[in-house]
Each structure stands twice: as structure tokens, then as C-alpha cells.
Structure 1
Amino acid sequence: MRILENILTDRGSKYAVSGGPCRNEADARAFVAALKQDRKFAKATHNSWGLICDDGPMKSDDGESGAGMTILRMLEREGLRDHIIVVTRWYGGKHLGGDRFRHVQTAVRQYMAQL
């Protein structure tokens, strides 16, 4: 599991991105559960994720509408399979509107640059 913390801050909201090998939905749920073993990630407002595997594309917005699909699109473009990417957001009290999608993209790009 690779975790990049404090990669972006905007209007009080903070972002992190993490990921690792993952082959199916059960692995994805286990990955997120392991991430949430860290109390900080358990208290996050959103842990959105995307995964493309043999079972097809899978995602979870975790309350951040559209974030999972944004991650999936980026995984498809890169051709990255069997690897989950989770974008974590701690809400800072101010709505970000469309900027939240740009922040998800920025987080995923930073993660992919580390692969």
C-alpha cells in the first residue's frame, strides 16, 4: 500500500491518495478497510476509489458524487488494471463545487507519477 498524504489543500479541505495491487471487489473493500485502520483515514469525510479488474470497472464515491467515475476514467486512460486508487478528502467546511473533480484528478496524477 502506497500512501501520499497532504498532497493538496483548498479552502480547508485536505486530500491524500493511496493505492496498491487489487484484483476484485473483495480485495478493494479489504484495501479500504486496511486504510481505515489508520484513525486519520477512518475519520475522513470521503474515501473514494476506482478499480479496473477482470470483473469489470468498480468504484465507490463514498458520498463524493462523481469522484469514483473520475478515478475510473483516469485508470482507463492509463490502461492501469488490477490496481486500486483511493482519493481521501477531509472536508474543510466550504463547498468546492467543480474544483473537487480537478483535485481528484490532481491526486490521481500524482499517484500515477509515482508508479
Structure 2
Amino acid sequence: MKQFEGVISDRGSKYAVSGGSVTSRADVDAFLKNLKRAKKYAKATHNTWAVVFSDGAPLKNDDGEGGAGQIILQMLEREGLTDHVIVVTRWYGGKHLGGDRFRHVQDCVRHYLDNS
């Protein structure tokens, strides 16, 4: 598991990005469980994620941040990265970010892809 914390901070909201190899839904569930063993990730407002398996099957979860999983999924598809889950974590800072939150998700995924 690779983790990058403090990737973005905007109006009190903080973002982190994590990822790792997976080959099944059970692996994704185990990855998320392991990530959330850290109390701060378990208490995060959103842990949005996506994966494209080598058989082409996509999976995503917005975790309440509508549309964020789709953004991660599209970026994985463009990169051709399979059997690798990416999770973007957000701790809500009290102010709505509007459309900026989607740019932040993209920036987090780009940071992960560029530094992994």
C-alpha cells in the first residue's frame, strides 16, 4: 500500500490518496479495511475509490462524494492501469467546495500516478 497524505488542503478540507494491487473485490475490501485501521481514515468524510480489473471489469464507490469514483475510474482507464485500486480520502473542513472537489480528486489521482 502506498499512501500520500496532505496532498491538497482547501478551505479546511484535507485530501490524501492511497493505492495498491488488487485482483478481486475481496482484495479491494481487504485493502479498504486495512486503510481504515488507521482511525483517521476510518473517521474520514469520504473514502472514494475505483479499480479496473485485468478482465476489464470496473468497480467504483463514491462513498457519498457523488461522481468522485467515476473520475478515478476514468483516470485509471486512460492510464491503462489494471488490478490497482486508488482511494482518494477527504476530511471535510466545514465549507462546501462545489466543483473544486472534483478537480481535487483528479489532482490526488494524478499525484498518485506520478509518484508511484
TM-score (norm 1): 0.98
Q: Distance in 2 between matches of 1:67 and 1:113?
A: 19
Q: Distance in 2 between matches of 1:38 and 1:65?
A: 24
What does residue 42 of structure 1 align with? 42
Q: Is the 8 A contact 1:24 1:55 kept in 2?
A: no
Q: Distance in 2 between matches of 1:49 and 1:23?
A: 15
What does residue 69 of structure 1 align with? 70
Matched to 2:77, the amino acid is E
Which contiguous aligned blocks of 4+ residues in structure 1 show a shift greater than 2 angstroms? Answer: none
How many residues end up aligned between the 2 structures? 115
What does residue 102 of structure 1 align with? 103
Is the counterpart of residue 82 in structure 1 residue 91 in structure 2? no
The RMSD of aligned alpha carbons is: 0.8
Question: Which segments of 5 or more consecutive residues in structure 1 lack a partner in the other structure?
Answer: none
Q: Distance in 2 between matches of 1:27 and 1:67?
A: 21
Name the % identity.
Answer: 63
Matched to 1:22, the amino acid is V
Q: In 2 relative to 1, CA 30–55 (structure 1 residues): closer, same or farther, beyond 3 Å?
A: farther
* Alpha-carbon offset, residue 105 of structure 1: 0.2
What does residue 22 of structure 1 align with? 22
SS in 2 for 1:92: coil
Bigger shift: 21-30 or 72-81? 21-30
* Alpha-carbon offset, residue 55 of structure 1: 6.1
SS in 1 for 2:65: coil
SS in 1 for 2:98: coil
SS in 2 for 1:23: coil
